[in-house]
Amino acid sequence: MVGVDVGQARDPSAVVGLAFDTGVWRVGLVQSRPLGESYSDLVDAVAALVDALQPADVLTVWDATGVGRPVLEQVQHHDTLGPSALGVTITSGSRVTGGWPHWRVPKRAMVHVATAAVESGDVAMPDRHEHRQLADELDALTHKGARVEAAGDGHDDQALAWLMAVYAAQRLHRPHRVDRLEIRRGGAVVWT
């Protein structure tokens, strides 16, 4: 499972790879791509990464929010990446919508699913010594009302790539657990 947060002019793109190891999803790779890297170069770099692994076993999960939408279209036409590319538009809403190959998922829902997956032992938190920036970004995520954001002026590129990969891994490999998670507001279920 490879999560890709597509950067913009002031935020680098980030790539986080998860490997399923002895029943637990663990971080195997974290990359911050060069600031200003062209989207074509990003797609080619992820394709090379997938080629180095076993392409038939790798699902790539792409941020399709904003500028990520045209990048996802490029990815879906790529020979290596296209068949196994999932787009995730990150929203501030309260409902998960869409179907394969494009989901619309509230960021807080991804955080909720990732937290539950870590607590259940399905997903391991990133090792702070090996992946310090990712661990720091995850620690710095804050809740501002109904929104989840990076604290201050911090970046959350690697955290978003990790969250998308974890969310997809849980939704595709543990659908019964994801389907039962709920976010409630005043007794009403706003997301399941």
Give 14-53 pLDDT, tens digit per residue.
Answer: 999 999 989 999 999 999 999 989 999 999 999 999 888 7
pLDDT of residue 27: 95
Query: What are the backbone angles phi and psi of residue 89, rounded to the nearest 5°?
Result: -90, 120
Mean pLDDT of the chain: 83
pLDDT of residue 174: 60
- Spans of all domains in the chain: 2-191
**Given the structure tokens 């989901």, which residue do they identify?**
103
Q: Could you give the CA distance from residue 164 to residue 43 in angstroms, rounded to a whole number?
A: 17
- Count the helices and strands in the chain (H runs, E runs): 6, 11
pTM, to two decimals: 0.85
Residue 142 has pLDDT above 70, yes or no: no
Q: Which residue has the higher pLDDT, 185 or 126?
A: 126
Give residue 78's pLDDT band: very low, low, confident or very high (50, 70, 90): confident
Strands (E), 77-133: 85-91, 97-99, 102-106
Please answer whether residues 124 and 26 qualify as being in contact, where contact means their C-beta atoms are separated by less than 8 angstroms: yes
pLDDT of residue 160: 93
Q: How many CB atoms lie within 10 A of CB 82?
A: 14
CATH of domain 2-191: 3.30.420.240
Beta bridge partners of 85: 60
pLDDT of residue 11: 86
